[in-house]
A and B are shown apart, each in its own frame.
Chain A
């Protein structure tokens, strides 16, 4: 599926040479109008039954889990969480790192794949960016309420207060505040700016009325003039260039929360790249987890092709292998350091009471994606879905292993404790899953889930020179490269 061969022109010696052809990003030669119709149709038509079947439970879970869970937490006190004396970060920070990691694939697809001119990103970048926004929203809940008295959460912001106290700018926790809030803001700008031309498309298709006014306001009056496109493309390029180091910095800063401490198992220099690779890995898995069903429900097979899924499968394989390397390197460094505390921390992870979490992490993150070496597995959507679900679970366990098993055995044996999450802990986490799904379903319902303008741009006839061949001075000349001639003569 990755590359189809095309029989090339016969050359003078009569030998037919195979030429590698790029696979099309839009199948069945769909017209511009078809693309507009199909994507805007999702927003304009009634939602399929499956949408309601997922939206109602998801929003109920969100309401009970996040709404009810947080109400109970705030009205009772942060003690309802199972964060015991030593494992104070416990489940909330596991979930924070998990969600913030999910959020990384969106900006990666949008920014890094844009800078490297990977045109296949156009079909998936919008949904991935939306996923980023919603995942960061889910992530933000945990540290905000983990501070204990949430009504003092504004103490995190560097603003003058009555106590005359300022934040500690040398602390990774404050870096985190800056990194995560910047990441959310920049992702939001990126997402919104990318959506403006598509909102204009929806606006122009609306009948006059409240919908037209609302889409019109958010489309900012976009007209699609080249004097606008010219600046717009520059703006998009700049945002991509700004978001690329940003996305790498955010999870690095999150990893500093751990790496700058002097705790065995955390105090390692491998953490920033290891966290970033893990975040991209988990994020891509989540993109596939939600895009494969959406593609099926809304009939987007011609826009999100098997080629896209194949590419994402390969990225999951690559980043999964990097993560596997990081796990093994951690073990090796612990062994090679000769530090007994370091070695003990890892022995405890592998063979301690949390061995099952470590085993889950290893099998889901390192072993399960290896199946993507086989093309048949990347083409079977059931297998892809199963692997992606494994990765989602595995990445959660990775954070559990890093945070909980380390904190459960710190320096003082008197502090040693086995952590188990309370009911409220579990309720809030399940609630954020519901919230994430419900927000994503609302996004599918109200906003263009595929970048209409950029998908159109990937069509061959979108290039203004695509029919210029006849006008070129060398039209009709032998269209064969010198090296191909040599190969041809060799065969005779």
Chain B
């Protein structure tokens, strides 16, 4: 313990149910906090509004991912079949009118590229994978993936204050309020 300094991550408070968490989240939002999150074992529908979150922008990424896939499929099929290596089989033409025969490949590559965009876009948006997180230092946080409902308010939020935030969490119904600290190396 000699040289390890600790940095405060923030406060973690437990709530007894999804509906208690939902009501508390709206109050934290109205108190003007920005850097905070609700931790739940399953997606609680409606919490986005209670937290003031916007709709995910992932669909836009996927839209462009899909277009890229379709264009890749077209470039691949057209270049190889019409430009580089035209072969007449089944009496099908080797020009722009061959496109209907490329549809299955265009379709599959659209889906494939879109799915990869979903995966990597999601990982980018939620900033994963990461090996550790200060919250994992908490003794009760493991219940967030089991049956616990938590709110964590980070210390780097402009409105954070050691007493005020704790009092707010207690006032809106939080139990087991814990100051989460991360070790600094």
Name A169's contact: one of B41, B42, B80, B142 (CB within 8 Å): B80
Interface 0/1 of B31-54, CB less than 8 Å to A: 000000111111111111011010
Name A186's contact: one of B102, B112, B129, B133 (CB within 8 Å): B112
A249 touches B39 (CB 8 A): no
Interface 0/1 of A230-262, CB less than 8 Å to B: 111111001100110110010001001000000
* Interface locus among B1-9, B119-127, B159-167, B170-178: B119-127
Please tell me if B90 contacts chain A, counting CB pairs below 8 Å. Answer: yes
Please tell me if A465 contacts chain B, counting CB pairs below 8 Å. Answer: yes
Specify which chain B residues have a CB less than 8 angstroms from the CB of A239 in the assembled complex: 115, 118
For chain A residues 465-482, which have a beta carbon within 8 Å of chain B?
Answer: 465-468
A203 to B87, CA, bound (A): 55
A227 to B84, CA, bound (A): 49
B116 touches A189 (CB 8 A): yes
Specify which chain B residues have a CB less than 8 angstroms from the CB of A169 in the assembled complex: 76-77, 80-81, 101-102, 105
Tell me the nearest residue of chain B to A36, going by C-beta: B146
A256 touches B48 (CB 8 A): no
Please tell me if A414 contacts chain B, counting CB pairs below 8 Å. Answer: no
Which interface residue of A158, A164, A225 has the most chain B CB atoms within 10 A? A225
Tell me the nearest residue of chain A to B66, going by C-beta: A242
B128 touches A235 (CB 8 A): no
Given known A220-B123, A221-B131, contact A171–B89 (CB-CB < 8 A): yes
Total A-B residue contacts, Cβ distance less than 8 Å: 213
For chain B residues 92-121, which have a beta carbon within 8 Å of chain A?
Answer: 92, 98, 101-102, 104-105, 107-109, 111-112, 114-116, 118-119, 121
Name A221's contact: one of B108, B109, B132 (CB within 8 Å): B132
* Interface locus among A1-9, A173-181, A339-347: A173-181
A226 touches B37 (CB 8 A): yes
Name A33's contact: one of B80, B109, B146 (CB within 8 Å): B146
* Interface locus among A12-20, A292-300, A454-462: A454-462
Tell me the nearest residue of chain A to B90, going by C-beta: A170
Specify which chain B residues have a CB less than 8 angstroms from the CB of A197 in the assembled complex: 42, 145
B102 touches A462 (CB 8 A): no
A193 to B38, CA, bound (A): 21
A464 touches B109 (CB 8 A): no
Specify which chain A residues have a CB less than 8 angstroms from the CB of B55 in the assembled complex: 234
Tell me the nearest residue of chain B to A235, going by C-beta: B122
A182 touches B111 (CB 8 A): yes
Number of interface residues of A (CB under 8 A): 70
Please tell me if A47 contacts chain B, counting CB pairs below 8 Å. Answer: no
Given known A231-B122, A232-B126, contact A158–B76 (CB-CB < 8 A): yes
How far does the Cβ of A421 sit from chain B's closest Cβ, in whole Å?
31
Tell me the nearest residue of chain A to B114, going by C-beta: A242
A468 to B126, CA, bound (A): 31
Given known A200-B145, A234-B59, contact A226–B44 (CB-CB < 8 A): yes
Given known A166-B84, A231-B56, A238-B58, contact A223–B135 (CB-CB < 8 A): yes
Please tell me if B169 contacts chain A, counting CB pairs below 8 Å. Answer: no
Specify which chain B residues have a CB less than 8 angstroms from the CB of A189 in the assembled complex: 115-116, 118-119
User: In terms of DSSP, what is the predominant structure of the interface of chain B?
Assistant: helix
B109 touches A182 (CB 8 A): yes
Specify which chain A residues have a CB less than 8 angstroms from the CB of B90 in the assembled complex: 170
User: In terms of DSSP, what is the predominant structure of the interface of chain A?
Assistant: helix
Specify which chain A residues have a CB less than 8 angstroms from the CB of B76 in the assembled complex: 158, 169
Specify which chain A residues have a CB less than 8 angstroms from the CB of B143 in the assembled complex: 204
A96 to B76, CA, bound (A): 27
Specify which chain B residues have a CB less than 8 angstroms from the CB of A168 in the assembled complex: 81, 87, 89
A200 to B144, CA, bound (A): 10
How far does the Cβ of B66 sit from chain A's closest Cβ, in whole Å?
8
A222 to B129, CA, bound (A): 8
A235 touches B135 (CB 8 A): no
Please tell me if A216 contacts chain B, counting CB pairs below 8 Å. Answer: yes
B115 touches A170 (CB 8 A): no
Please tell me if A484 contacts chain B, counting CB pairs below 8 Å. Answer: no
A249 to B22, CA, bound (A): 41
Specify which chain B residues have a CB less than 8 angstroms from the CB of A200 in the assembled complex: 145
Specify which chain B residues have a CB less than 8 angstroms from the CB of A467 in the assembled complex: 17, 19
Specify which chain B residues have a CB less than 8 angstroms from the CB of A158 in the assembled complex: 76, 80
Please tell me if A119 contacts chain B, counting CB pairs below 8 Å. Answer: no
Using CB atoms and an 8 Å cutoff, list the residues of chain A in contact with chain B. 31-33, 36, 158, 164-172, 174-175, 178-179, 182, 185-186, 189-190, 193, 197, 200-201, 203-205, 216-217, 220-235, 238-239, 242-243, 245-246, 249, 253, 256, 452-454, 456-457, 461-468
Cβ-closest 10 pairs across A and B = A464-B22, A32-B147, A220-B129, A234-B56, A204-B142, A225-B37, A175-B104, A166-B80, A170-B101, A235-B122
| Subset of 30 A-B contacts with CB under 8 Å | A32-B146, A36-B41, A166-B85, A170-B89, A178-B105, A193-B119, A201-B145, A204-B143, A220-B129, A221-B130, A226-B37, A226-B47, A226-B51, A227-B126, A229-B40, A230-B48, A232-B126, A235-B121, A238-B58, A239-B115, A242-B62, A246-B111, A256-B104, A457-B42, A461-B19, A463-B19, A464-B45, A465-B19, A465-B46, A467-B17
